[in-house]
Chain A
Amino acid sequence: MSISEADVRHVAMLARLALSDEQITRLQGELNSILGNIEKMQELDLEGVEPTSHSIPLRNATRPDVVRPGLSRDLALLNAPQAENGAFVIPRIVGAEEGA
């Protein structure tokens, strides 16, 4: 399996990344090289090994349902490029779904 230029453009679009043609060519090469490494690992005999997404043998890590202090509103809005009436201001949404 290899990644085409179109794959790179699609993934970039999904991640809202504006990439130049040169960047796309470079990333296509880098991503294919990563995939190559994974293909190499596929050669290992993994018969009987369960797939896993986490490497630590820990399960059911939760916290009790207790309220803890958060941020004050002023602090929460400190990094906002723009705030209005205690809310984050975002630009007009074009062509967006309504009621999502």
Chain B
Amino acid sequence: MAKDRLAGVLERYEAVIGLEIHTELTSLNSKMFCGCPVAFGGEPNTRVCPVCLGMPGALPVPNEAAVEATVLAGLALDCEIAPFSQFHRKQYFYPDMPKDYQISQYDLPFCGLGHLDIEVDGEGAKQRVDLDGGPYATRIGVTRIHLEEDTGKMVHVGGSEGRIAGADHSLVDFNRAGTPLMELVSEPDIRTPEEARRFAQKLRLIMLNLGVSDCSMEEGSMRVDGNVSIRLRGETELGTKTEIKNMNSFKALHDALAFEIVRQADVLDEGGRIVQETRHWDVTAKRTSALRSKEEAHDYRYFPEPDMVPFEFSAGWIDAIRARLPELPDARRERFMRDFGLSSADARTLSEDVEFAAFFEEAVALAGTPLAKPIANWMLGDFSAYLNAGTVALSDAKVTPAMLAELVQVIDAGTISGKQAKQVFTEMAETGDAPGAIIEIRGMKQVSDTGAIEAAVERVIIANPDEVASYRAGKTTLIGWFVGQVMREMRGQGNPSLVNEILVKKLG
């Protein structure tokens, strides 16, 4: 409903959206300020210590790998890296936070202004009614990236469906408490729900490429909140914003923002006012609703964390982190287009995932650059379909780069037909046998020997004088039937294009 009405609303109103994206640094061994392991799930309160339980006298010490990962992320997004930074205490009370303050960063975060370029195509591009509806690229500013600690988790007992409302009491598990948490704040440069989705998706790809997080929205290692306001087109003043939480998938992010834009337009159209508040996305009801919260404004009383000294990053230290930057998807995509002549779309899909891209490059290295295109086609076609259909991950797949390289080579050499190649691929994905072995065992070798094909063609012509007469009388559509006869004669192993060519010559 909201989606159907979004287009109409966006004709009259411009949406102004900023995102806050929390990413747990799940690839680290230990927590932000203590040596407890970073992991997902597990038995409650089995990864805790005096520091992450907030016991009096415990001394938190920052994890150097977490600091480095945050600066690495900042460099990947062209952020300014602060020469002087420090941690602050953010005071508020909530049962999942044992110290009654969160160690976070305030006015001196590790990373300042940066940006992320996104591309929007397909249906979603039409949300920008001020543009021509076609694919476009746009730059979204990054305000800052800072580092903090995650909270514990609560389970609500009694009442319905584990929700706070109506719960009898709650259980707190501090296994997650103290997990290194990186928070990125974007500039309010985002104009449509689709742009918000693309921004979050691209950020996720970059974090995955940096290897700092598994970025699972399902498990909550990547969490996206959105600030959204609307204003009449042409208006320069910002409208009152609301903050949307609980968007646990990219689709939820898009749909929640779309709903909220339409809701705000309805309020304004009826002469109402937008109330600045936090709203919760209900994925089942497909609507946002205001959270019950106290009227008082948040007053976090930030002050510098006295247990930790400030940070001063030297230019040399920052350069050393910069040297660790891996090739990012955009750069890899351009290289694939340049070096292998791939289309922009193919290069994008191949370059997004680190492992998938590495698989492709390894296969190309083995088969030779001229075969890059067919390798790309197999990877984006049958191989992707195979990976998407089953439960097999790329890392567990029986197909290796060497096997794929061999397959495109035997096709290129004309040893097997395209149709046979598909059978070989299916078999090789199931068994892990090399293409050569499969072709040998199945007797699939395609015959490209013109002498053998000519002999078969002769036999077919002699055996079918009536059809030959019809063909020569002008019924040239019979060629397909002849090809079929010759292929049968050759037990399916004739090279179809050669068979066709020789038939036309002999019949003509």
- A interface with B by C-beta (< 8 Å): 14, 16, 53-54, 56, 58-71, 73, 76-77, 84-93, 95-100
20 residue pairs bridging A and B, Cβ less than 8 Å apart: A14-B299, A14-B301, A16-B93, A56-B309, A61-B309, A62-B63, A65-B30, A67-B35, A70-B35, A71-B53, A85-B44, A86-B173, A88-B172, A89-B171, A93-B95, A96-B292, A98-B163, A98-B164, A99-B246, A100-B94
Chain B interface size band reads 35 or more
- Hey, which chain A residues are within 8 Å of B91, CB to CB? 14
Nearest-neighbor residue (CB-CB) of B84 within chain A: A59
For the complex of A and B, 6 pairs with smallest distance between CB atoms: A68-B35, A70-B49, A87-B171, A53-B304, A65-B65, A62-B64
Asked if residues B36 and A70 are in contact (CB atoms below 8 Å), the reply is yes
Query: Which B275-313 residues have C-beta < 8 A from chain A?
Result: 278, 280, 291-294, 299, 301, 303-304, 306, 308-313
- Hey, which chain B residues are within 8 Å of A71, CB to CB? 48-50, 53
- Hey, which chain B residues are within 8 Å of A56, CB to CB? 309
The B contact surface, by secondary structure, is: loop
Q: Which of B45, B63, B95 contacts A65 (CB 8 A)?
A: B63
Q: Which of B30, B86, B309 contacts A68 (CB 8 A)?
A: B30
Asked if residues A67 and B67 are in contact (CB atoms below 8 Å), the reply is no
- Hey, which chain A residues are within 8 Å of B245, CB to CB? 99
Asked if residues A91 and B164 are in contact (CB atoms below 8 Å), the reply is no
- Hey, which chain B residues are within 8 Å of A62, CB to CB? 61-64, 67
CB distance from A71 to the nearest CB of B (A): 5
* With known contacts A59-B309, A95-B292, A86–B64 Cβ distance under 8 A: no
* With known contacts A60-B311, A63-B61, A86–B50 Cβ distance under 8 A: no
Nearest-neighbor residue (CB-CB) of A93 within chain B: B164
CB distance from A27 to the nearest CB of B (A): 16
Nearest-neighbor residue (CB-CB) of B278 within chain A: A97
Contact flags B55-91 to A (C-beta < 8 A → 1, else 0): 0000001111111000000000000000000100001
